[in-house]
Structure 1
Amino acid sequence: MKLPIQDNEFLFLLSSVTIVIVLEVLSIIGLHIPQPYAPFVFAAFIIGIGHGVLLNGIKAIFKLKFSSINLLMTIAVVAAFYLEEYPEAAVVIVLYVLGERLEDIGLENSKLALNQLVSIAPKTAFVKSENKNVPVNAIAVGTIIQVKPGEMIPLDGKIISGETTVDEAAITGEPIPKDKHQGAILFAGTLNKDGFVEMETTTLSTDTTFAKIIRLTFEAAASRSDTQKFIQRFSQFYTPIIIAMAVLIFAVPVFILQLDFDLWLKQAITLLVIACPCALVISTPVAIYAAIGNASAKGALVKGGKYIEAMAKIKAIALDKTRTITYGTPIVSDIFPLNGTSRGELLACTAGTEFFSEHPLAQAIVTASRAEGFEPHKAESFKSIMGKGATAKCLVCTDKTVFVGKLEFIREYHEISEDAEKIVEKLATEGKTSVVVSFGQGVDGIIGLTDAIKPDSVTAIKELQALNIELIMLTGDSEKAAHYVANSIGIKKVYGDLLPEHKSEKMSALLKEYGSVAMVGDGINDAPALASSTVGIAMGAAGSDTAIETANIALMNDKLCLIPLLIRLSKKTLLRIKTNTIGAIAVKMVFIALAFMGYGNLVFAIAADVGVTLIVILLSLNLMRFENK
């Protein structure tokens, strides 16, 4: 834990604590500040360091607010001063104030990742038309701004000239910089590494993805978890009970059993000090802040502490297929040259025809052809037949007319061989799309395309299954395509051909079956299911307003493998909170029992209270370093 040593107030507090403890130790071994100076010296420390606590305690007395921790500490200090235990009275107040400051430091450190987001946000941008830096909040959508190498990108937009490499770790948590060319999307708060670019802004400063992350993350920090709410409610009842117990531990021995007044007053004070619920109150928020900060640093935006708790209790996860398990863009997976056609000729001729089309399947074939070293053949007379296919005349292959499209489209012009029928059928059973090609004499080749599975999807699925999470696929894609992808990655339960409302209905059924169910989707057509699930998780949320607004957790870097990490982190966080709480209560019970037996020691009680608080803070902050092992 980093302490703010540059903070003069904190240095003064540490110095005061050191002096008071030294004076207390000297007092224990028989070296005292002589009278009449002792009460004034220690009163100076008490008032100088603890005036805020004492004032709040006095206010609580007048308001009859017996749940106030400050009231508890004020009673302890006044009673210790009455007993002429001046060093103990000073130690009580300065260590309590130190504990309070350490709690603040714990929260500040656990929110460090969030504060860093704010600190790196650019405040101005260089506007080309004005040839000067302008505050980002005064820049309109559509403004051309310039970004030099090494500068932070100030607003969301797209490159209109230049190329560069951009570090997007602040948005996605992805450590590897991405190459950006003309037309590429840029996010505010990311770092322009090595190129000069001009970009056109697409959002206002208040609407950038970066601004939304900052706003939602701080809202998440303010959104209390169920455990945190319970602890705070508990402390409201706990403090009055402790005050009542302290009154009993003093009144019964003194007024009923006629035992020593000062001894049992000291035991009552000891009870008040050790019972202070600092460690209990601080254990949950520091742990939750640390977990949210850890997740944010890795590219997962968690919208509240309650979702950290909810992830730890998830029994099943429903996943969309497209853009969640798969990339959502088609790639060529199979190439079947037929009728004596070579692989190169099939690809180059088909790509030459598809070159004129903007359809994703067509562009995938062009990309595949170039990737294998076959430049698309020049063609002319391109004609698209809606929903069926396209034709064009190849200028390289002796003016061949190329027919490209569905099997039924080719059948309208040429006979289809049995081999071609079987290939198309086989590709269909694998959930793949067939593009049938003819050069004028039957079928000359078939190209199979599929939606490629993300490399980390298989790993993520295995990790989730190892955590005993039931996995279900809910997709709007065809049953065949859904089953093929599901079988490839090991998912057993599959529901295909689902419209958005059908996904929501399935989610309701899954909630009844499993109790706690997360939904993972791209945040667009999955919005109803995301909203109705226990925890909605949006994939690839960078730049997607719908995903960021709808989901409870947004994975900014499009990585499915973050979900097992979130589940493990959530389980670790809940375990840490329980451990902290049980440990703090155990220490308090020991000292409370000693106080009831008349063996309570005020100095040890103070040391134990501050020590437990510090341990709780350190253990909670350690969640910032949690990794998915």
Structure 2
Amino acid sequence: MEMLHGTKLDSVSTVEEGSGPRKPNHPGKWDLRSMLRNPEVLAALGSGCLMLIAWAVGHWSEGWSVVLYVLSYISGGWIKAKEGIKTLVTKHDLDVNLLMIAAAVGAATIGYWNEGAMLIFIFALSGALESYTMQRSRKDISSLMELQPETALLIKDGEVTSVPIDQLKIGDQILVKPGELIPADGRVYRGSSYVNQASITGESVPVDKTEGDDVFAGTVNGEGALYLEVTQASDATLFSKIIKLVEKAESEVPESERFIKRFEAIYARIVVIVTIAIIGLATPLLGWDWDTSFYKAMVFLVVASPCALVASIMPAMLSAISNRARKGVLFKGGAHIENMAQTAVVALDKTGTLTRGTPVITDFITGSGITREELLGICASVESVSKHPLAVAIVSKAEEENIELYPTEHAQSITGWGMQAEVQGKLWKIGKSNVLDGKGNETAHSAPEEPEMETGTPALNWKEIRTKLESEGKTVSVVMQSDRIMGMIAMQDEIRPQAVLAVKHLQELGIQVAMLTGDRKVTAEVIAKKIGVDMVFSDLLPEGKVEHLKQLREKYGHVVMVGDGVNDAPALATATVGISMGVTGSGTALEVADAVLMSDNIEEIAETVKLARKAQRIVKQNIAFAIMVILTLVITNFVEGVPLPLGVVGHEGSTILVILNGLRLLRTNK
């Protein structure tokens, strides 16, 4: 353990001269230096330079020109030749790499050194561009791992000590200096700053953090020192969950890409057979001389090769994945982007997805002889020993209104109903409103239904009040002093602020929205009406969600499921694409899901569908364009004849164009 000598708690918040917040990583931007470090880019550039020098030298020395051309061939072709030989040896298949090398060598054998070198250079350049695109796209996802902190500043006995993050425990207090990475999920108990959360949530604007706010490991602190209480062990943080997801996820290949790969192997054999046939049969059958037959065969070998077809899909899919990663949506593979494009229905879990998952008090109704403040203080006192979400909501409400709690005695849970405790010598009970129907706790069910107000005002009809509150989708609890009802509390799960817009944007895309929940029908329908959901399925256990998803898939086709809990995992696995909430999502949901909303922003679902549809359009454009270019060049070669340089430019130029068309998906809307 390394001690920071002389560092005391009161002095650590000072910002050292020249220090400042670390600038966040922007993996989505093009970086010339990293591009030049790519071996395929260097090989392609070297091949092009040698080709130009060989062409210039050829004006006065043919021998040296040939030597330089050979070096150009080697520089640009050795990587592709190695890949082609590996495919031939391990899979016993031909691919475009060997076809292009064979065409270049063939051109050289009949004296077209410059054309062969041009073919190698452009082929190597298009391959390098595709390789760099894939590397760039993967980096947008894997760059997250570079932000994994290794140590934390632990505050203990008034001194600050640097310790490995795996030694941190829940409840430990740590210091995060200005500009440093936050090492653990925690809650601010002192200090204020802004935090750049782009690496985790995709938010482009830093978020202000002050006392009581939560922060995430792997995000970057701004200009102020933050004192945190650790809330998650190092292996349970949101950051570590996403790291595990990235490390484990396999890059799933889209079905269209798998088809192109199968097609490539068959097509390459056909091209080789036709090329050999032209060389061997054109002279006796068509009367061409040997040079013409061989030349046209080499042109055919170049223009018929499926380079552009092969490059039509993956650069576009990887660019789409990269785009979404920078906006806080992490996909496990291109197959899921392809499936998202065909989305017909988006099914959303209610609690924790459309709502925050934490109830808040909406109504507080008091009976006779007690004020609202007194009753709230008593309720919070009774519930202060419970960790139930409804109890936490009551205590939070009292804290929010600065209401002091009373000393309690003999506090205990009443199984299946609620809580009771003695406050100021009187027995108070808080629990389910089913006591109004003669159900629930035996000691509570005899409470009067309509107690008289002490002021002589008309009696409150507690059943009517309950019916009205429950019709609004609220959970109702009664507050009792001994066997007399003194008040009623209504609570409701808060709807996420972006839920209404998220549903609206999906519907604007022609997608139907369904809500799946285990809540009661009344509550579910009230929430659905407020949000604008098309279909509501309530009172569902996990197996019920799975059954409804199967029915939706049978009726509509591709269905996306969005959820956050362990109980959502079977449904996420059943859907065409399962999307888990990143911040509130359970480890099981993250494991099963095909994509993760790292900032829990469900508005990004509609944006992702739009991008997926755009990716699908681009892939179709690329395939149609590639086929058109191949057919045009092949037909022209046999009818009129195509010069080899023009064939090289047409074929490899089309490959570069389809790659660049796919790269358009890297652009993100601000």
- Structure 2 counterpart of 1:412, from 419, 438, 446: 446
SS of equivalent residue, structure 1 residue 519: strand
Residue pair 1:127, 1:143 contacting (<8 A) in 2 also: no
- Structure 2 counterpart of 1:375, from 372, 391, 403: 403
Match for residue 123 of structure 2?
96
Counterpart Cα distance in 1 of 2:614 and 2:64: 52
Counterpart Cα distance in 1 of 2:241 and 2:429: 49
Deviation, structure 1 residue 460: 1.0
Deviation, structure 1 residue 317: 2.4
After superposition, the Cα gap between the structure-2 partners of 1:331 and 1:159, relative to the gap in structure 1 and judged at 3 Å, is closer
Counterpart Cα distance in 1 of 2:267 and 2:240: 40
Match for residue 7 of structure 1?
37
Normalising by structure 1, we get a TM-score of: 0.86
Counterpart Cα distance in 2 of 1:344 and 1:427: 21
519-528 vs 361-370, which moves further: 361-370
Match for residue 326 of structure 1?
355
After superposition, the Cα gap between the structure-2 partners of 1:204 and 1:174, relative to the gap in structure 1 and judged at 3 Å, is same
Deviation, structure 1 residue 265: 2.1
Match for residue 82 of structure 1?
109
| Structure 1 position 43 matched with structure 2 position 75 | no
SS of equivalent residue, structure 1 residue 435: strand
SS of equivalent residue, structure 2 residue 149: coil
Deviations 1:442-478 (A, max 9, x none): 7654332111111111111111222222222221111
After superposition, the Cα gap between the structure-2 partners of 1:468 and 1:623, relative to the gap in structure 1 and judged at 3 Å, is same
Partner letter of residue 255 of structure 1?
A: P
Identical amino acids, percent of aligned pairs: 34
SS of equivalent residue, structure 1 residue 461: helix
SS of equivalent residue, structure 1 residue 375: coil
Partner letter of residue 283 of structure 1?
A: S
Residue pair 1:353, 1:382 contacting (<8 A) in 2 also: no
Normalising by structure 2, we get a TM-score of: 0.81
187-196 vs 101-110, which moves further: 187-196
Counterpart Cα distance in 2 of 1:201 and 1:473: 31
Residue pair 1:270, 1:602 contacting (<8 A) in 2 also: yes
Residue pair 2:346, 2:511 contacting (<8 A) in 1 also: yes
Match for residue 313 of structure 1?
342
Match for residue 148 of structure 1?
176
* Unaligned 5+ runs, structure 1: none
Match for residue 549 of structure 1?
591
After superposition, the Cα gap between the structure-2 partners of 1:388 and 1:376, relative to the gap in structure 1 and judged at 3 Å, is farther
Match for residue 459 of structure 1?
501
After superposition, the Cα gap between the structure-2 partners of 1:261 and 1:316, relative to the gap in structure 1 and judged at 3 Å, is same
| Structure 1 position 213 matched with structure 2 position 242 | yes
**Within 5 A, what are the aligned runs for 1:277-292?**
277-292=306-321
- Structure 1 counterpart of 2:51, from 20, 35, 57: 20
Partner letter of residue 50 of structure 1?
A: G
Deviation, structure 1 residue 240: 1.4
SS of equivalent residue, structure 1 residue 315: strand
SS of equivalent residue, structure 1 residue 324: helix
Deviation, structure 1 residue 356: 5.2
Match for residue 220 of structure 2?
191
Deviations 1:180-217 (A, max 9, x none): 757x7654322233324466595466x75434424533
Match for residue 21 of structure 2?
none
Deviations 1:58-104 (A, max 9, x none): 78889995623233123212221222122112212222222222221
**Within 5 A, what are the aligned runs for 1:518-557?**
518-541=560-583, 544-557=586-599
Residue pair 1:366, 1:376 contacting (<8 A) in 2 also: no
Deviation, structure 1 residue 536: 1.8
Counterpart Cα distance in 1 of 2:82 and 2:447: 93
Counterpart Cα distance in 2 of 1:61 and 1:232: 14
Match for residue 258 of structure 1?
287
Match for residue 580 of structure 1?
622
Counterpart Cα distance in 2 of 1:589 and 1:607: 15
Count of residue pairs brought into register by the alignment: 616
Deviations 1:215-253 (A, max 9, x none): 533654622121221111111111111222223344443
Match for residue 255 of structure 2?
226
Deviations 1:527-547 (A, max 9, x none): 222222222222245563112
* Unaligned 5+ runs, structure 2: 1-29, 437-443, 451-458
After superposition, the Cα gap between the structure-2 partners of 1:441 and 1:40, relative to the gap in structure 1 and judged at 3 Å, is closer
**Within 5 A, what are the aligned runs for 1:83-162?**
83-125=110-152, 139=167, 146-149=174-177, 150-154=179-183, 156=184, 158=186, 162=190
Partner letter of residue 217 of structure 2?
A: A
Counterpart Cα distance in 2 of 1:344 and 1:109: 59
Partner letter of residue 145 of structure 2?
A: V
SS of equivalent residue, structure 2 residue 350: coil
Deviation, structure 1 residue 280: 2.1
Counterpart Cα distance in 1 of 2:325 and 2:38: 31
Counterpart Cα distance in 2 of 1:383 and 1:124: 42
Residue pair 1:344, 1:374 contacting (<8 A) in 2 also: no
Residue pair 1:109, 1:621 contacting (<8 A) in 2 also: no
Residue pair 1:472, 1:494 contacting (<8 A) in 2 also: yes
Deviation, structure 1 residue 496: 1.6
Deviation, structure 1 residue 140: 7.7
SS of equivalent residue, structure 2 residue 352: coil
Partner letter of residue 225 of structure 2?
A: G
| Structure 1 position 177 matched with structure 2 position 207 | yes
Match for residue 612 of structure 1?
654
Partner letter of residue 44 of structure 1?
A: L
Deviations 1:7-50 (A, max 9, x none): 396457425415635866x89xxx84554544334233223443
